[in-house]
Structure 1
Amino acid sequence: MLHLGLTGGIGAGKSTVAATLAECGGHLIDADQVARDVLDPGTEGLAAVVAEFGPDILTKDSRLDRPALARRVFGDEDALRRLNAVVHPLVRAETRARLADLPDDAVVVHDVPLIVENHLAAEYHLVLVVGADATTRTQRLQRDRGMTAEQIEARMAAQADDTQRAQVADEWIDNDGDPDAATDQVRQLWRERIAPYAANLAAGRRAPRPERPELTSPPQGPRSWAVQAEAILDRLRRAGGDLVLTADHIGSTSVPGLLAKDVLDLQLGVADLTAADRLAPALAAAGFPQVEGHWYDSPKAGLAEPGTRWDKRFHANADPGRAVNLHVRVAGGPGWRYALLCRDWLRNDAGARAAYQQVKEHLVATTGSTRDYAAAKEPWFDQVWPQIQAWAERTGWAPPQP
């Protein structure tokens, strides 16, 4: 089951995008509607809210007086916390119940206004943000809801800004102009990313990758490689729970300024490879199926006994829109240490970065596939391994404690 988180600022036009996703085949779960449903007359939720805030939040016909409740909690952090403590567990339970009725290969669209503000992005395979500038949103809210400029300003000020939303947006849907343009963008997104992702997830397979290697400059703006990597690592930590001891961004995209293939290399540290195998189903459900085969790293002298195999598990992303290589290694083991050491050496040595980039550019021009490209880099790392060791000894480098 593929879970999409849909969010956007007030007046951005999220409902239009939600309707289009539903037309494409998505199953819509509106968090605001669920929150209203769990506080209907006669529900456990309404009884709990009345017990917390008193009967004066009810109308004459024993329904929730939402404006009265809003006045009670607006500007009162303690009251809002108490309200959320009642409502949020009920919303989660009702959402789980509705999900249980859906097919395993469903695409679920979670319409949640405050994904960014409540730090919920890690709960979804993809986060879709609907965006429009403040002027457009203000005009819509005045026209469609009759809100005053002061009311609009207060609501916008209480929400995340566009930079914060962009940092969590796997996809930004521009709804600033013609609504048909936004609808077309959503339909194209469904065809090219969402539907293939759902199919890959259901089949337990990785998304296809380009055969030939290609280097690209680091992306600019709020969705840097580092920001994208951390967002995915948050999802993996949530999926793996206590089995995940460490989670790190490694490889070329973790080195600022370095040209790289647009593939994020991530590393999870686990207690042992038995734990890695126990973790595999959770990673697959999170969008990272295990890639079959015997996977191991190229050993380096001094990090393990001679002849020791650096075994690992390898997963890759089912999402066709964001290539990820996920290495699952024993935390504290030689392969785990080496990945972190190489990253930190390249981050701290400008000369090493320049030399490595030259090697990468040469290999892209002379190798025919990504597999050949990866294999051809290994001799260079063997050559510079003494330099890496010397740097580690000189600086007192140590990996983070698992």
Structure 2
Amino acid sequence: MILIGLTGNIATGKSYVAQVLHELGAHIIDADRVARDVVEPGTPTLVAIAQHFGPGVLQPNGALNRKALGQIVFSDKAKRLQLEEIMQPAIRAELTARLDAIPKNTVGVLEAIRLIEGGWHKRCTQTWVTHCPPETQIARLMQHRGLTEAEARARVTAQNPQADKLALADVAIDTSGTLEETQVQVVRAWEGLN
């Protein structure tokens, strides 16, 4: 199996690139989806988060209040690291199970914002990195997630510099242009796999 590690900072177009790869026939594993799955109501991970950060991170129905938790962890690096320590074991176990289930003789894609930081790129055949200017990231976060400029900027600056990921890229995809321009880059890189 060819395994593409797809990464890039927040709002740099990873999901769109994954969508194009899926349309080309790749099996997609979305680490963000896995991270949401491991904090479903009643899971041990969600219980641990609520115990650590307080009941204010839960909605009345017992689901995670992502906005409340985001306000806590995106403004405080120590708290963000504490959250990662709680979540990473469950995420790692679930990602491993899903990767192991990808059929052989296919192309798999692990879409993960922390692909490199988590060491997952070492398991991949190639590392693909999406990138765009920080102001584009901020505008996308404001438009698509309804964040204020300050909230969006905090999320962008909370991450490692894009240059760190780009330094390890086998394929760099500039997503600052149109969707069509991004798609052309993805198809070109896909064709280069064979």
Q: TM-score range by the shorter chain?
A: 0.7 to 0.9
CA distance in 2, matches of 1:121, 1:111: 10
Q: Superposition pairs for residues 9-48 of structure 1, below 5 Å?
A: 9-48=9-48
Q: 1:140 to 1:59 in 2, by over 3 A?
A: closer
CA distance in 1, matches of 2:95, 2:119: 18
**Does structure 2 retain, via aligned residues, the 8 Å contact 1:121–1:168?**
no
Q: Which runs of 5+ in 1 are unaligned?
A: 197-402
Q: 1:99 aligns to what?
A: 99
- Write out per-residue CA displacement over residues 9-58 of structure 1, whole angstroms, 9 at most, x where no aligned residue: 22222211110011111111111111111110122222232343343422
Which SS does the other structure have where 1:184 is aligned? helix
Alpha-carbon deviation of 1:142? 3.3
Which SS does the other structure have where 2:130 is aligned? strand
Alpha-carbon deviation of 1:190? 1.1
Q: 1:31 to 1:103 in 2, by over 3 A?
A: same
CA distance in 2, matches of 1:26, 1:181: 20
Q: 1:5 to 1:81 in 2, by over 3 A?
A: same
Q: 1:58 aligns to what?
A: 58
Q: 1:93 to 1:178 in 2, by over 3 A?
A: same
Q: 1:102 to 1:175 in 2, by over 3 A?
A: same
Which SS does the other structure have where 2:114 is aligned? coil
Which SS does the other structure have where 1:168 is aligned? coil
Which SS does the other structure have where 2:192 is aligned? helix
Q: 1:187 aligns to what?
A: 187
Q: Superposition pairs for residues 104-115 of structure 1, below 5 Å?
A: 104-115=104-115
Deviates more, 1:138-147 or 1:87-96: 138-147
Alpha-carbon deviation of 1:113? 1.2
Q: 1:120 to 1:101 in 2, by over 3 A?
A: closer
Alpha-carbon deviation of 1:119? 5.3
Alpha-carbon deviation of 1:121? 3.1
CA distance in 1, matches of 2:155, 2:72: 17
**Does structure 2 retain, via aligned residues, the 8 Å contact 1:117–1:159?**
no
Q: Superposition pairs for residues 132-171 of structure 1, below 5 Å?
A: 132-171=132-171
Q: 1:175 to 1:82 in 2, by over 3 A?
A: closer
Q: 1:76 to 1:3 in 2, by over 3 A?
A: same
Q: Verify: 1:90 aligned to 2:87, yes or no.
A: no
Q: Which has the higher contact order (CA 8 A, sep 6+)?
A: 2
Q: Which runs of 5+ in 2 are unaligned?
A: none
CA distance in 2, matches of 1:142, 1:76: 21
Q: What is the RMSD of the two structures over their aligned residues, measured on CA atoms?
A: 2.3
CA distance in 2, matches of 1:113, 1:154: 16
CA distance in 1, matches of 2:95, 2:146: 31
Q: 1:155 to 1:81 in 2, by over 3 A?
A: closer
CA distance in 2, matches of 1:47, 1:121: 30
Alpha-carbon deviation of 1:177? 1.2
CA distance in 2, matches of 1:96, 1:117: 16
Q: 1:69 to 1:139 in 2, by over 3 A?
A: closer
Alpha-carbon deviation of 1:122? 2.4
**Does structure 2 retain, via aligned residues, the 8 Å contact 1:49–1:86?**
yes
- Write out per-residue CA displacement over residues 328-355 of structure 1, whole angstroms, 9 at most, x where no aligned residue: xxxxxxxxxxxxxxxxxxxxxxxxxxxx
CA distance in 1, matches of 2:146, 2:70: 18
Q: 1:16 to 1:34 in 2, by over 3 A?
A: same
In structure 2, what residue type is equivalent to 1:158? A
Q: Kindly tell me the number of residue pairs found equivalent between the two proteins.
A: 194
**Does structure 1 retain, via aligned residues, the 8 Å contact 2:74–2:154?**
no
TM-score (norm 2): 0.86
In structure 2, what residue type is equivalent to 1:98? R
Alpha-carbon deviation of 1:6? 0.9
- Write out per-residue CA displacement over residues 151-174 of structure 1, whole angstroms, 9 at most, x where no aligned residue: 332222222333222201110112
**Does structure 1 retain, via aligned residues, the 8 Å contact 2:3–2:126?**
yes
TM-score (norm 1): 0.44
* Larger-gyration structure (1/2): 1
CA distance in 1, matches of 2:75, 2:66: 15
Q: 1:161 to 1:57 in 2, by over 3 A?
A: closer
CA distance in 1, matches of 2:116, 2:24: 25
In structure 2, what residue type is equivalent to 1:28? I
Q: 1:245 aligns to what?
A: none
Alpha-carbon deviation of 1:116? 4.3
Q: 1:80 to 1:142 in 2, by over 3 A?
A: closer
**Does structure 2 retain, via aligned residues, the 8 Å contact 1:17–1:186?**
yes
CA distance in 2, matches of 1:19, 1:79: 32
